[in-house]
Amino acid sequence: MADEAGIDLERWIQAYRGPLIGLIASWGSDWRAAEELAQSVFAEAWMARERFLADPNDLAAVGAWLRGIAFRLSCAEGRRNQARAAPLAAEPAVEPDEPDEPDDRRALLSRAFAELSAPHQTVLRMHYLEETTAREVAALLGLTPKAVESRLYQARKELRSRVERLQQAAQGVRR
């Protein structure tokens, strides 16, 4: 089933069905629920295919996109299950008194992250923000775990360098 943009859903399913089911199961779902959620991921990907901006034949980009959809759907399912299990008259949750990071630092990090190459952004986002192991990232991007670890190392090194450069530039402006 290919559309005019060149998206071949059957190829995506063939390449990622197994890894997606395994990934979702590793997040705590039973295998049956993982299979159903993987089907939902492919359905959502097909429905949102216009928003996929990368090359549909770039399986690494497709894998990262599908993984993001799976993570979002899995979190939503977890929230639904938690809401079903919660008592109706629950006490309100108490927020911790820890302050957020200063906005300046967050903005600096965001700017530095935006300057990274797409492969570096992808592995950092998947590993740190979406809490995916290097092994899972490797399965979804079609890389070896060692290649993912190397890419993570290079991405952190580059991010650190860019943050330092932006900090120095900001300090130069303030003086």
> Which carries the bigger pLDDT value, residue 105 or residue 39?
39
Evaluate whether residue 123 is within a structural domain. Answer: yes
**Per-residue pLDDT tens digits for 15-69:** 888 888 888 888 888 889 989 999 999 999 988 888 888 888 888 888 889 989 9
Please state the pTM of the whole predicted model.
Answer: 0.54
Domain shared by 126 and 69, yes or no: no
Which of 91, 126, 144 is the C-terminal boundary of a domain? 91
pLDDT above 70: residue 175 = no
Report how far residue 35's alpha carbon sits from residue 149's, in angstroms, rounded to the nearest whole number: 28
Give the separation between CA 58 and CA 119, rounded to whole angstroms: 12
Count the domains in the chain.
Answer: 2
Identify the CATH number of the domain in which residue 154 sits. Answer: 1.10.10.10
113 lies in a domain?
yes
Per-residue CA distances from 92 to 78, 82, 86, 88, 95 (Å): 19, 15, 12, 11, 9
Packing angle of the helix pair 59-85, 31-47 (nearest 10 deg): 120
For residue 96, being part of any structural domain is answered with: no
For residue 166, how many other CB atoms are within 10 A of its CB? 16
Q: How far apart are CA 134 and CA 126, in angstroms?
A: 9
Looking at the structure, tell me whether residues 108 and 66 fall in a common domain: no
Residue-by-residue DSSP string for 36-74: HHHHHHHHHHHHTGGG--S-TT-HHHHHHHHHHHHHHHH
Q: Are residues 80 and 17 in the same domain?
A: yes
Q: 83 in a domain, yes or no?
A: yes
Q: Domain span at residue 131?
A: 101-175
Q: Do residues 62 and 120 both lie within one domain?
A: no
Same domain, yes or no, for 43 and 16? yes
Same domain, 24 and 62: yes
Is residue 173 located within the same domain as residue 126?
yes
Assess contact for 159 and 117: CB atoms under 8 A. no
